[in-house]
């Protein structure tokens, strides 16, 4: 890429997409194309095709997706597989058809088997059964990876696939019905503090371990790999360390300043026991995360406080 490259960021208003836009601008890329959902429905094949024919971007970063936590994935499986398959199929095919120089596809750590050897290496893909609570989303993302690899193999299309770990940060979704665990905990502890609640109920046993990547680190990684990586092999994007959900809850509790107790609701699902990324390939490509979890949670809570009247509730 160069400063004049015409870059389309699909999903620019989402958590990942907005961070990628910030990172691109920091690096001097200002010829950016964006469309809201009302301006361009990425599940509409003809609309996507017309958009690419009219705009002719040179680079595409596909961060648009239907996303959610365990509850949302388990409640709306048809929407998660249908919408994500449609979005990525339309964008990848139209990007190739219109002569895009490079496409970056963002997947997810949930593509890996539920009991994959930890930390999860890229070559563990398709070596075992998926986590049942989000298998529909995972299967859609695996199809996106394979589509990128197929278009590279058959057409020579420069499409790369990056697998981010659990993301959090400014612009996150704090809706308790469909958010991920970290923003949900931030909101729960914040509201419990305001209401002087004696306890906060946390889903599951607290024993599963998760890896968390600040979304601005993701943005930097995506720009770095767009500039420096071109191959069919997928690349994990993470920090290479993890914490238990209980440890995360204690950290969030301290950052928020809540003084009550944490109670576990063991009737709720835990999900995958552990999801730690092996980031050796990422390190070899010259990138590593720079924002610590404590620093990132503090930064996210500060953003939440400044935007609590307008966040997605």
Q: Is 164 annotated among the ligand-binding residues?
A: yes
pLDDT score recorded for residue 72 = 79
Q: Is 170 annotated among the ligand-binding residues?
A: no
Q: What is the pLDDT of residues 53-62, one digit of tens each?
A: 999 999 999 9
Q: Catalytic residue numbers?
A: 137
**Cβ neighbours around 310 below 10 Å, total:** 7
pLDDT score recorded for residue 102 = 98
Among 129, 163, 153, CA closest to 234: 163
Q: Where is 265: in which H helix or E strand?
A: strand 261-265
Taken in order of first residue, the domains within the chain and their CATH numbers are 7-171+211-241+275-291 (3.40.50.720)
Q: What is the pLDDT of residues 254-312, one digit of tens each?
A: 999 999 999 999 998 887 788 899 999 999 999 999 999 999 999 999 999 999 776 55
Alpha-carbon torsion, ordered 90, 221, 223, 12, to 10 deg: 50
Q: Is 13 annotated among the ligand-binding residues?
A: yes
pLDDT score recorded for residue 280 = 98
List of residues 6+ apart from 26 with CB closer than 8 A: none
pLDDT score recorded for residue 223 = 98
Does the model's pTM come out above 0.85?
yes
Place of tokens 């496409």: 103
For the chain, residues with pLDDT lower than 50 are none
Among 55, 50, 39, CA closest to 6: 55
pLDDT score recorded for residue 105 = 98
pLDDT score recorded for residue 312 = 54
């Amino acid at each position: 890429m160069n400063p004049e490259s015409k870059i389309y960021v699909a999903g620019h208003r989402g958590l990942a997409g907005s961070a990628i836009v910030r990172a691109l601008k920091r690096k001097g890329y200002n010829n950016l194309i964006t469309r809201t959902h009302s301006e361009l429905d990425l599940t509409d094949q003809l609309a996507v095709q017309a958009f690419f024919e009219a705009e002719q971007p040179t680079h595409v970063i596909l961060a648009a997706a239907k996303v959610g936590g365990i509850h949302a994935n388990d409640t709306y499986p048809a929407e998660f597989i249908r919408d994500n398959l449609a979005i990525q199929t339309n964008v990848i095919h139209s990007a190739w058809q219109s002569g895009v120089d490079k496409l970056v596809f963002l997947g997810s750590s949930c593509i890996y088997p539920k009991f994959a050897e930890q930390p999860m290496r890229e070559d563990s893909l398709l070596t075992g059964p998926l986590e049942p609570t989000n298998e529909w989303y995972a299967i859609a993302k695996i199809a996106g990876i394979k589509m990128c690899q197929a278009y590279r193999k058959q057409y020579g299309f420069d499409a790369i696939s990056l697998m981010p770990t659990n993301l959090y940060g400014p612009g996150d979704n704090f809706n308790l019905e469909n958010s991920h665990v970290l923003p949900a905990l931030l909101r729960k502890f914040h509201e419990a503090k305001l209401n002087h609640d004696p306890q906060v109920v946390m889903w599951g046993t607290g024993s599963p371990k998760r890896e968390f990547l600040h979304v601005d680190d993701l943005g930097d990684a995506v720009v770095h790999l767009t500039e420096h990586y071109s191959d069919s092999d997928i690349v994990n994007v993470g920090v290479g360390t993890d914490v238990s959900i209980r440890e995360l809850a204690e950290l969030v509790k301290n950052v928020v300043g809540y003084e009550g107790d944490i109670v576990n609701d063991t009737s709720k699902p835990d999900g995958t026991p552990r999801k730690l990324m092996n980031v050796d390939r990422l390190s070899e490509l010259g990138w590593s995360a720079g924002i610590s979890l404590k620093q990132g949670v503090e930064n996210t809570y500060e953003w939440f406080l400044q935007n609590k009247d307008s966040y997605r509730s």
